[in-house]
Amino acid sequence: MIRIGHNPNTNMLPMFYYLEKEHPLLESVTAEPTGHNAMLAEGRIDMAPISAFSYGEHWKDYAILRNLSVSTNGRVGSILLFSKVPIGDLEGLTIALTNASATSVNLTKILLHHYYGVTPGYLTMPANLPEMFAKADAALLIGDAAIQAALLRPECYIYDLGEEWHKHTGCSMTYAVWAFPKSLLAEREEEIMRIYDLLLEAKAKALGNMDDILRTCQMMLGGSLEYWRDYFAQFNYGLDHDLVLGLEKYYNQCFELNLLPSRPVLEFWPKE
């Protein structure tokens, strides 16, 4: 039995919609990304779509499943900085960061410190825009919380961090990778291979049947089918060479800004 992390946000439906929930080899544990980051590090789950940043913290212990990620080359639509002032004016002000994210929290710091030359103060809070705006001048939200907040058209500046990253670096951005502890390979490699095949099959089926997923998103959060078609058009759930280059750029920036203690070396599984 492999315990995998299930992320309930709409952007993960192309991975989970067709994954068999009752498969005898699988047990799913639902949480936001930071929940899975902690559970994988503590051995409470065996594999998950963790924050790319969390892989960067544990790269010596983890392997990354090939050809799987949550990435965009530009706009993402659900990693949004809501701000009362233009982004370049945040010097000395306060940003409330969602407690659900690790990748985007550090992406925010890279963009602000390195590219805009501003150093705000930070708070970490549950994702709730009115409560965040009561305590801070800007708020970072990810996933469905970001989509829901943006659909309400709040009166503030809204920056898409995938778009900002692309604008400043020309690179794609990988938010999540599927990782597992390498120590599992000694005795459970065959089981991991079975789960990997299930994940690839579920993804292929979803990407060939996106209409079902668009309707599900509409039922979950509202919005038009066109809105959802446009949202998913940005995403890449693979992990090709160009995406890896973008991810390495992100890790290098994290290391240079002391957000990571070492420069991660990516180790993929299965070996080619």
Ligand X SMILES: C=C(O[C@@H]1C=C(C(=O)O)C=C[C@H]1O)C(=O)O
Residues forming the site for ligand X (CB under 6 A): 7, 9, 11-12, 33, 49, 51, 70, 76, 78-79, 101-104, 142-143, 175-176
What's the closest the beta carbon of residue 38 comes to ligand X, in angstroms? 12
What's the closest the beta carbon of residue 85 comes to ligand X, in angstroms? 23
- Three-state secondary structure of the chain: CEEEEECCCHHHHHHHCCCCCCCCCEEEEECCHHHHHHHHHCCCCCEEEEEHHHHHHHCCCEEEEEEEEEEECCCCCCEEEEECCCHHHCCCCEEEEECCCCHHHHHHHHHHHHHCCCCCEEEEECCCHHHHHHHCCEEEEEHHHHHHHHHCCCCCEEEEHHHHHHHHHCCCEEEEEEEEEHHHHHHHHHHHHHHHHHHHHHHHHHHHCHHHHHHHHHHHHCCCHHHHHHHHHCEECCCCHHHHHHHHHHHHHHHHCCCCCCCCCCCEECCC
Which of residues 143 and 264 has its CB atom nearest to ligand X in the complex? 143
Which of residues 70 and 81 has its CB atom nearest to ligand X in the complex? 70
Which of residues 142 and 206 has its CB atom nearest to ligand X in the complex? 142
Cα–Cα distance measured from residue 185 to residue 247, given in angstroms and rounded to the nearest whole number: 24
What's the closest the beta carbon of residue 140 comes to ligand X, in angstroms? 9
What's the closest the beta carbon of residue 54 comes to ligand X, in angstroms? 7
Which of residues 161 and 198 has its CB atom nearest to ligand X in the complex? 161
What's the closest the beta carbon of residue 259 comes to ligand X, in angstroms? 13
Which of residues 13 and 184 has its CB atom nearest to ligand X in the complex? 13
What's the closest the beta carbon of residue 190 comes to ligand X, in angstroms? 28
Which of residues 175 and 269 has its CB atom nearest to ligand X in the complex? 175
CA angle 158, 160, 161 (to 5 degrees): 125
What's the closest the beta carbon of residue 186 comes to ligand X, in angstroms? 28
Cα–Cα distance measured from residue 140 to residue 146, given in angstroms and rounded to the nearest whole number: 8
Which of residues 7 and 83 has its CB atom nearest to ligand X in the complex? 7
